[in-house]
Amino acid sequence: MSKADLAAVAQRLYERFMAPLVLGGDLAPGPAIGGKRALLLDGGTAAVDPDVRSSVDVARVRIARRLVPLDTIDDPSAATWALGAALHDMIHAMHPDMGGALHRSAPEKLLTFASQVIDHTRAAGSLAEAVSRHTFFSRMFEIARTDTLVSWWTGSRRFLGTEPPPRLVAWPDVRKVHVDRTRVQLVELLGTQHVGRQEMFRSALAAFLEKIPLTDLATCNRPSPAFVWTGASLGLFATPNGRALGLRALALGPSADVDASLGRATLRHVKAKAWADIARIGDVLADRALAAALTEADASLASGARETNADAHYARSVGATYAIAKVASLGVHESVARRVTARLMSLAQTGVTSEQVGASMESSPLSQG
Amino acid sequence: MLDRIALHQTRLHTPGLGLDAKGVALGAKGLVLIPTVDRLVAWLSVYTQDRSLEDLLASLELRFVRSPMGTQEITLTFAAESSDRMDRVSETARLVGAFTFTGTSRHYVQYRDAAAPFGYDATELLATDAAFALYHDRFSQTYDAGKTVDLRALLLRLMPHVDPRTVDEPGMRYIVAEEGLGAALIHYFVRSQVDGEVTLAEWPPEGAFDDTPVRRYVVRVPELPPRMRSLMRTTPGLTSFVPAGPGVAVELGYRHPVQLRACPVFDAGGLVLLRGRGDEPWTLPKMPVMGDLRGFARVTLRDQEPRATSVARVAREPDPVRVTLRLVPSSAPWRNVTASAIPTAALPLLRRLAYALPSGALKDTRVALTDRGAFLTCPHGIEAIPLGTFFIQVHPGLYTPAGLDVVPKVAPEVLYRALGSPSGHAVFISHDGAALAVPNDAFVPLETVILEAKSWEPATAEIIELALTEEPLELTLAPVGVFPLAGTAAAPALPDAPKELGPAHEQG
């Protein structure tokens, strides 16, 4: 494969997929890249149009500034190119024409190629790399396809991701044309696939998300795939800087929805008795509870506690329970500490999940010394 | 025997004696016992120096009294009214050696002094029918009343003292001229333009052998010029008098021992002229009518018969007298400089100056451009534009150069009419006397003509894109083609150690 071919692939991937993923606009995947070429796209930035690259960089900095103050951002690394190519093929695999009579297994092959590429890609080795990857893929769950159903007096036709030809919408009054447009989100596109393919896609997507932990945390309130605590996301909280980035990423989403997702993920670990992870999860949740207790007013705290669902309650309760032990180490004034402790205790004693919290605490090896 | 009245003492023995509000023993009358006429005159002189006798005159009575031992003294009685009046009177009496008493009818007890602040009370009254029984701490004496003394007559009998200081006193003068000098005096005053009034007064003959009354001219001069004072004083037959009070005058060079202004005993409608050297005063019971001096000027008539006077007949209309209008330098300060004329050659300077003019000057100044240059007018003053020749507005439609006067100095209205009164024009008179008329319609506001506006060109406005607007992600699909996986290949198999595609993992 010549460098020129790779440059063309990189340019097409960047300008028609990765750039719109950052800037917004039309996302036009295709043709498929494949696993081999995906791993050879490092340095493909040189082939990209400088104006497009400049616009993308500005937008990436803006995205990164939501998490960390910085002025410049690095070009995409080889891993980022590979992940981009993998996502490209994953999206392309859901093309409605893919899996037709002549290429029935094409979607599975593409998904396999994508999974291979994802497997080849190591986890972000630094926070800068994690931020860099996040800047490209932070909006991936906003991908939507507009399906247009055009019905006229003699029939109808559906256009998926394409505009209907003008001739079909001409003379709308005479031909009684009705155009119905529907936006289908990325996760809903999975439902258009058959079950096996859906499972492959979810698996590939989960693996993909594990390579971009910041995006995983920032979009944890997504309906699908459900957020789960992974080694990558928990590893992010292992360092103070990573913890700060991770908490900021969690704070990007609606608090109640984020708590609900975290609660579900935490409960899964509790049920699985993954105690080591639960301690780390507890720390994360404790930081969120402390932040809420220190900043939110009593009224909003109480109303939030009443309105969120059981999963959110669970996350807050776990966090409050772990946070009470941390109040003394905050170094705040005694009156503030008392007030914070009272708030945390009110969260921790929320009736719905107190028993569960107690049971989880009692059975934790940590509590058993 | 007298007892000093004590504080808060209320019981008195002297009849008619009571206590005033201050607790001072006071009767209805006050009485001053004066030993001699000289002392009386002294009392009058001292008292009238600071006070007037007017308040005492109504009840004042001067009377000679005689004691049982034959001594004659003078009593001056008056209504006591108050202890203040009594105090004033007693101070004066003490000064001239008189005694002050107070009482009501017959018995008069010594008035208070320093030894008895509240007065005295006579414990033992004299049983007498005399007119006065006076009780003093050194004596008690009865007096019989004698004849009264007329104050006016007394004052008239008093001879004025010589006082040269009155010679130069300014003010009104009465000059009495003997009949023979009257006319000459009148003409002298008329010729010298001295204002005054004159009357001719008559006195009874001075002697038994005279049948005709004595006539004298009485001239009243409000202000005699100083150069004439010596003449009036030293000319025989002329006697000058200085008014000393209403209805009385004292001869120049003399002064009456009593302040006659404080003794309103003379009729203000008459005139008493007190002469010095012991001469009898000239009295005019009623002032005769006085006439202005100028009415007595000498009138001279021509002796000849009036001949026929020549009567002027109507003549032809005289030729008008015309003079050329000229402008001469004036030293008067410039006022109302509200216009200026800028020659054509200086207009570029006006253009350059326009950049520095304040907005008020631009707004209020009006300009008219002519072939002779620009004429500027500003009702608030044209000094803000220091160019050209300044003009002063002498008439609503007429301007003359500042610093010059138009001669002959006719009224501005006359000058404007002489120039033809061009309506709707403002006339400017130049230095050489020529008049330029500028139509009022030609004046326009300076600010409207001063600016040369450039033509404008339309500019295209560009819409500034919102930098933070995020477009939605729209997945668009293109046909996959016949071979959608053309060119794709699987990734190489993972070795034991995965291919490093990113930086080393950061140790937490």
- Contact check, Cβ <8 Å, B492/A36: yes
Cα nearest neighbour of A79 on chain B: B501
B488 touches chain A (CB under 8 A): yes
Give the chain A residue whose CA is nearest to the CA of B486.
Answer: A32
Predicted pLDDT of residue A192 = 72
Identify the band that residue A84 occupies on the pLDDT scale cut at 50, 70 and 90.
very high
> Does residue A143 sit at the B interface (CB-CB below 8 Å)?
yes
CB contact A119 to B (< 8 Å): yes
**Angstroms from A26 CA to nearest CA on chain B:** 5
Tell me the residues of chain A between 206 and 265 that have a Cβ less than 8 Å away from chain B.
235, 238-239, 242
Flag if A116 and B491 touch (Cβ within 8 Å).
yes
Taking only residues 262 to 321 of chain A, the set having a beta carbon closer than 8 angstroms to any beta carbon of chain B reads none
Cβ separation B488–A109 shorter than 8 A: yes
* Phi and psi, residue B340, nearest 5°: -150, 155
CA distance A323 to chain B (A): 22
User: Which of A78, A123, A161 has the CB atom closest to B477's CB atom?
Assistant: A161
Whether A78 and B475 lie within 8 Å, measured CB to CB: no
Which of B471, B472, B489 is facing A36, going by the closest CB pair? B489
Q: What is the pLDDT of residue A304?
A: 57
**B319/A contact by beta carbon, under 8 A:** no
H/E run at residue B293: none
pLDDT in tens, B284-295: 888 888 888 888
Q: B468, B470, B501: best mutation site toward chain A, by most A Cβ within 10 Å?
A: B501
Query: Do B480 and A31 make contact, defined as CB atoms within 8 angstroms?
Result: yes
Instruction: Report the alpha-carbon distance of residue B40 to residue B33 in Å, rounded.
Output: 9
| Banded pLDDT at A117 (limits 50, 70, 90) | very high
pLDDT number for residue B458: 65
Mean of pLDDT values over A169-191? 84
Note the pLDDT of residue A215. Answer: 95
Cα separation, B288 vs B128, whole angstroms: 53
B466–A contact, CB cutoff 8 A: no
Q: To the nearest whole angstrom, how far is the Cα of A255 from the nearest Cα of chain B?
A: 22
Please judge whether B492 and A20 are an interchain contact, meaning their C-beta atoms are less than 8 angstroms apart.
Answer: no
- Choose the closest CB to B476 out of A27, A36, A242: A27
Contacts 24+ apart (CB under 8 A), B319-323: B323/B408
| pLDDT (0 to 100) of residue A141 | 92
Least CA distance to B495: which residue of chain A? Answer: A120
Task: Write down the pLDDT at residue A300.
Answer: 58
- Whether residue B483 lies within 8 A of chain A, CB to CB, comes out as yes
Q: Is B441 on the interface with A (CB under 8 A)?
A: no
Q: Hey, is the C-beta of B468 within 8 angstroms of any chain A C-beta?
A: yes
Residues of A in contact with B505 (CB under 8 A): 122-123, 125
Mean pLDDT in residue range A338-350: 78
Give the largest CA-CA distance in chain A.
80
Of all residues in chain A, the one with the smallest CA distance to B497 is: A120
What's the confidence (pLDDT) of residue A198?
A: 84
Question: Is A354's pLDDT higher than 70?
Answer: no
A134 in contact with chain B, both atoms CB, cutoff 8 A:
no
- Taking an 8 Å cut-off on Cβ atoms, the answer to whether A34 and B483 are in contact is no
- Cβ B473–A116 below 8 Å, yes or no? no
B487/A31 Cβ within 8 A:
yes
Asked if B219 and B151 count as a contact pair (C-beta separation under 8 A), the reply is no
pLDDT at A338 over 90: no
Alpha carbon distance B282, B266 (integer Å)? 13
Of A96, A120, A124, the CB nearest to B491: A120
Q: Which comes out higher in pLDDT, residue A303 or A218?
A: A218
Please name the residue of chain B whose CA is at the shortest distance from the CA of residue A163. Answer: B476
Question: Looking at beta carbons, which residues of chain A come within 8 Å of B503?
Answer: 77, 125-126, 129
If you count residue pairs, one on A and one on B, with CB atoms under 8 Å apart, how many are there? 159
DSSP-derived 3-state class of residue B429: strand
Cβ of A31 within 8 Å of Cβ of B477? The answer is: no
State the smallest CA–CA distance between residue B466 and chain A in angstroms. 13
HEC string for chain A: CCHHHHHHHHHHHHHHHHHHHHHCEEECCCCCCCHHHHCCCCCHHHHCCHHHHHHHHHHHHHHHCCCCCCCCCCCCCHHHHHHHHHHHHHHHHCCCCCCCCCCCCHHHHHHHHHHHHHHHCCCCCCHHHHHHHHHHHCCHHHCEEEEEEEEECCEEEEEECCCCCHHHHCCHHHHCCEEEEEEEEHHHHHCCCCHHHHHHHHHHHHHHHHHCHHHHHHCCCCCCCCCCCCHHHHHHCCCHHHHHHHHHHHHCCCHHHHHHHHHHHHHHHHHHCCHHHHHHHHHHHHHHHHHHHHHCCHHHHHHHHHHCCHHHHHHHHHHHHHHHCCHHHHCCCHHHHHHHHHHHHHHHCCCCCHHHHHHHHHCCCCCCC
End-to-end, the C-alpha distance of chain B in Å comes to 136
Regions of chain B where pLDDT drops below 50: 498, 502-508
Chain A positions touching B496 (Cβ under 8 A) are: none
Contact between A122 and B477 using a beta-carbon 8 Å cutoff: no
In this complex, do A145 and B475 lie within 8 Å of one another by their Cβ atoms? yes
Q: Is any Cβ of chain A less than 8 angstroms from the Cβ of B486?
A: yes
Could you read off the pLDDT of A30-80 as tens digits, one per residue? 788 988 888 888 877 778 888 889 989 999 999 999 999 888 888 899 999
Q: Is the pLDDT of residue A315 over 80?
A: yes
Structure tokens at B217: 């001219």
- Which of B482, B505, B506, B507 is most worth mutating to test chain A (most A CB atoms within 10 A of its CB)? B506
Query: Which residue from B minimizes the CA distance to A82?
Result: B501
